[in-house]
């Protein structure tokens, strides 16, 4: 085989074991083993090391009391400025108008989401301060600011426009869904919005340390999203979480594997590796809000870039960087994802790969 040729691998039978160390159907490898990169500056879009710990903002740690109403909104970092405003003017106005307690937790890693925590005392037979603040903050997030649709898609990590995401306790998910999905279906019909409760493995990095937390995703026209959010807020208030939720949460990005430190690209031990992945598999690899690919980066310590625009071609290029061990682990995790998708396409439900 001549240098630069791309190896072609035959498809394997669906029932045959597929070692993750082998190239997988749907991928083409362009390997650069032992390729050292020296004197190369880190590009601004390279992944960075997550913060070692989340830092709470504006208030000391405390826990919400049983009679507190509490909501947690997940906001992409690029949209947080729409909520805060210049010198904090917008969020301060919401505090003054609603009298709710509003806090913003720092991002776990640059470009990742942040959590806005809203709380207030419960009030019988009336809308609570927290519910009022929830509506106002959601309206700020959904407000048009001149950002193009394409910029919005990139900035929010592949989350659709006009989307609000709430973190809820796992104990609240059942009441929101209802028997045989009756409650959530009624909510969709009455509001006109798309309402989805994401799978447990789709929690963003900024999720609370409670492993049972779930994400409620609301999308659609702005009036429909706000109407659905109002109904959901009322249901969550009537069905509070069974466990106490920290108003100043600790974060769960270490729950799967401790994050590894990233290697300086100028190091002589720095290696790079490239592979092509089918366009149809890229969205799932990235995950909601970039969760899946962020998890691989944190676990392996490798930098991973997805090159090319969506829909431009049949394959997208993945670029890995780091030590040989970091790159190998990152590639293994990507291979495991591809394998799991191929098994599903073949009608075989993978049981060993819980990550996907």
Predicted confidence band of residue 77 (pLDDT cuts 50, 70, 90):
confident
pLDDT tens digits along 234-254: 999 988 887 655 544 444 433
27-49+257-345 CATH: 3.30.1370.10
Per-residue model confidence (pLDDT) at position 212 = 72
Return the percentage of the chain with pLDDT > 70, whole number.
Answer: 61
- Decide if pLDDT at 293 tops 80: yes
For the segment 338-348, what is each residue's pLDDT rounded down to a tens digit? 888 888 877 76
Residue 160: Cβ within 10 Å count:
13
pLDDT at residue 310 greater than cutoff 80: no
Tokens of 271: 């290696």
Q: What CA–CA distances, in Å, run from 305 to 104, 246, 317? A: 29, 34, 8
Give the pLDDT band (50/70/90) at residue 10. very low
Query: Confidence class of residue 55 from pLDDT cuts 50, 70 and 90?
Result: very low
Of 33-42, 118-127, 289-298, which one has max mean pLDDT?
Answer: 118-127
More confident residue, 223 or 287: 223
The CATH fold assigned to 68-238 is TATA-Binding Protein (3.30.310)
DSSP secondary structure, 315-328, as one string: EEEEEEEE-HHHHH
Residue 196 tokens, joined = 């989805």
Of 78 and 98, the structure prediction assigns the larger pLDDT to 98
Helix axes 170-177, 222-238, angle to 10 degrees: 110
Say if residue 230's pLDDT is above 60.
Answer: yes
**Dihedral, CA atoms, 260, 266, 269, 272, nearest 10 degrees?**
80
pLDDT bin (cut points 50, 70, 90) of residue 101 is: very high
Asked whether residue 68 carries a pLDDT value surpassing 60, the answer given is yes
Does the pLDDT of residue 267 top 60, yes or no?
yes
The rounded distance, in Å, linking the Cα atoms of 200 and 255 is 13
Contact call for residues 183 and 227 (beta carbons, < 8 A): no
* Span(s) in the chain for CATH 3.30.310.210: 68-238
Average pLDDT, the chain: 72
Domain(s) labelled CATH 3.30.1370.10 in the chain stretch across 27-49+257-345
pLDDT at 83: 92
- Is residue 326 within 8 A of residue 301, CB to CB? The reply is yes
Location of structure tokens 């090319």? 308
Q: In what order do the strands lie in the sheet with 303-307?
A: 27-30, 271-278, 315-322, 303-307
Q: Which two tokens stand for residue 8?
A: 């072609």
Which tops the pLDDT comparison, 313 or 42?
313
Considering 101-105, 161-165, 224-228, 306-310, the range whose residues carry the highest mean pLDDT is 224-228
Q: What is the DSSP letter of 203?
A: -
Region 303-318 average pLDDT: 81
pLDDT digits (tens, 9 = 90+) for 18-29: 344 445 555 555
Let me know: does 207 contact 167? Beta carbons within 8 Å: yes
How many C-beta atoms lie closer than 10 Å to residue 181's C-beta?
11
**31 pLDDT band (50/70/90 cuts)?**
very low
């Amino acid at each position: 085989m001549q240098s630069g040729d791309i190896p072609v691998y035959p498809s394997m039978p669906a029932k045959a074991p597929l070692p993750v160390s082998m190239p997988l159907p749907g991928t083409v490898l362009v390997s650069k083993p032992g390729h050292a990169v020296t004197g190369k500056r880190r590009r601004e879009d390279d992944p960075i090391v997550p913060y070692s710990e989340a830092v709470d903002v504006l208030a000391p740690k405390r826990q919400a009391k049983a009679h507190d109403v509490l909501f947690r909104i997940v906001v992409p970092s690029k949209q947080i400025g729409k909520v805060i405003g210049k010198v904090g003017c917008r969020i301060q106005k919401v505090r003054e108008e609603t009298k709710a307690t509003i806090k913003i937790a720092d991002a776990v890693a640059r470009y990742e989401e942040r959590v806005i925590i809203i709380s207030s005392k419960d009030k019988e037979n009336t809308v609570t301060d927290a519910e009022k603040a929830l509506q106002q903050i959601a309206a700020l997030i959904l407000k048009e600011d001149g950002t193009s649709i394409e910029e919005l898609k990139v900035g929010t990590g592949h989350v659709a426009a006009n989307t609000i995401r709430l973190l809820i306790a796992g104990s609240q998910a059942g009441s929101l869904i209802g028997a045989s999905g009756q409650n959530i279906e009624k909510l969709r019909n009455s509001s006109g919005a798309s309402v989805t409760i994401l799978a447990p493995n789709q929690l963003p990095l900024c999720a609370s340390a409670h492993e049972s937390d779930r994400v409620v995703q609301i999308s659609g026209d702005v009036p429909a999203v706000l109407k659905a959010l109002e109904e959901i807020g009322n249901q969550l208030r009537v069905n509070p979480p069974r466990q106490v939720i920290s108003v100043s949460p600790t974060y769960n990005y270490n729950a799967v594997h401790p994050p590894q430190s990233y290697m300086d690209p100028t190091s002589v031990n720095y290696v790079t590796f490239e592979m092509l992945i089918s366009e149809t598999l890229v969205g799932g690899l990235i995950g909601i809000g970039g969760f899946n690919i962020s998890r691989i980066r944190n676990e392996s310590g490798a930098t991973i870039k997805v090159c090319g625009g969506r829909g431009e071609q049949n394959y997208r290029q993945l670029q890995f960087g780091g030590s040989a061990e970091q790159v190998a682990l990152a590639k293994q995790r990507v291979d495991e994802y591809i394998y799991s998708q191929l098994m599903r396409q073949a009608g075989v439900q993978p049981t060993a790969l819980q990550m996907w």
